[in-house]
Structure 1
Amino acid sequence: MNLPVIAVLGPTGTGKSDLSIALAQELGGEIVNADALQFYRGMDIGTAKLPVAERGGIPHHLLDIMDVRQEASVARFQAEARQVFDEIRGRGLVPILVGGSGLYVRAALDEIDFPPTDPAVRRRLEAEAAEAGIGALAARLAVVDPESAARNLDDRRLIRALEVHEISGKPFSSFMPQRKYHAPATQIGLNLDRAVLHERLAARVGMMVDLGLLEEVRRLDGQGLREGKTASRAIGYAQFLAVLDGTMSVKDATEKTVIATRQFARRQVTWFGADDRVNWFDPTDKTLVPQVLARIRES
């Protein structure tokens, strides 16, 4: 049977890793990471990265491929993920894409072109924002790309949208992906009742703290964590950097991490829920794996 690329997605804390390993064992597959923060070496506890001993002997790709000072690139990930898919298929196995970083999942699976980039233009726009305030840039974006402006982008994405318009003459919104697979794929989504998920996420953050999240952040701080635009802003890492700075207690950092994680999970549900190609399952169902396998085999 010629199985499609299998994508296991959904909000954080829903058991995507466990399901992906079970599917890989059943189907003869290898796992491709699509969690942008798990690209980073040393960001283990705070990203819930599975230790090697818990990966069921299944090869995992695109884990630990970047230094914390580097900035993740969706365009680069797209090329690398598709190359890995081809390599896995070349071994007669099934590629299983796993993660909750919505745009990275879409980049790997869908037809999507990425807007151009120019570091010099971005630096100039960042300097303008620092001098005149982000409000002036937001007003400019509202004129040249009202669709993107209406999405209430954070400062970094707002600057990116202006950078793209300046370079290409096209609105950033025109580069949004279309829901059209680059190659055959089946998307498996996991989600929980919101209250149950919130409880699970709070427990998960508490476990991360108990496992030594603060010490992980301290170690990565010594490796240049603050220099990385992506890594330094990661949930948990940003909060515990504040603990190292003495501006936040461990208790407050833990609470803020829980809140930020819940907010992130809500955004993930919104993102993935907008794609009607996703097949949703309850991860607490005892027949989850047989149900998912049956759905995949129907594809």
Structure 2
Amino acid sequence: MKIRPFTIEIAQSEIDDLKKRISTWREPDQLQAIGWAQGTEYEELSRLMQYWRTGFDWRKHEAAWNIHPHYQTDIGGETIHFVHARAAVATGRTIILTHGWPGSVFEFHRLIPLLTDPLSHGGRQEDAFNVVVPSIPGYGFSSRPTRPGFNLFAVADLWAELMSRLGYERYLAQGGDLGASVSTCLAHAHPGSLAGVHLNFIPGSFSPPHDASPDGDLTPEERTFLERKAGWADLHGAYAHIQATRPQTLAYGLTDSPVGLAAWMIEKFRDWSDCDGELANAAFSRDDL
């Protein structure tokens, strides 16, 4: 049950290996004037890889990330990394924030001080929170699951034990993307511990039951929504299907090639952000990516 302080410090050998792999990547062909229509665009990826190899300052960003108090603890055979930042006032409520994919705890890097000390950022003292931000197993500095059947409810159980270990009996939960599913499972499995749940994404598996037949109970607007949803899944949902059904096959390429991993992920950051198709217009920077 020991909780250990943790400091982010990437080994220089890992950074050197990353830069070597980027510098020796084999460039694929791309159809002329195709842009992003078939996936990550070559020129955009090349620029980002050049910056990652020569411009990204690892030590500067480690120092920025380490301003938050990081910890690790072992729960149920997994090592869980998490940030635990206490409210600036003793009356603060408590919230656990869960990231999604493709993401990590660093999604909340700028948000944490706004929640723990809102008074210093134009807010009200009574809105302060104790903030817990864990890395889902397989992400960041948490361990990678090794046993079959490790699902979202298993993650929710880890979160419940983590919060109990930190001394929190009742708290709020927030999540988006995969984190929304974890937060929903947390509410289902541990309702007595949850004072409330906030989701910025509603997992499809938790949609209310409905009858989609012509004589069913859906409004025209709801039918239009489901048609658009199905169309999106056909055109953009292949990534989720392969990650859900054949992740091991995909893992060989993405684990061995940082360029492949970057290409797999930045397409989603481009498609899912309000950047009008240009990463340069996004609210996040190259360093954030």
Compute the TM-score of the two structures, normalised by the length of structure 2. Answer: 0.31
- Structure 1 or 2: larger helix share? 1
Greater length-normalized contact order (CA 8 Å, ≥ 6 residues apart):
1
Compute the TM-score of the two structures, normalised by the length of structure 1. Answer: 0.30
- Structure 1 or 2: larger strand share? 2
Larger Rg: 2
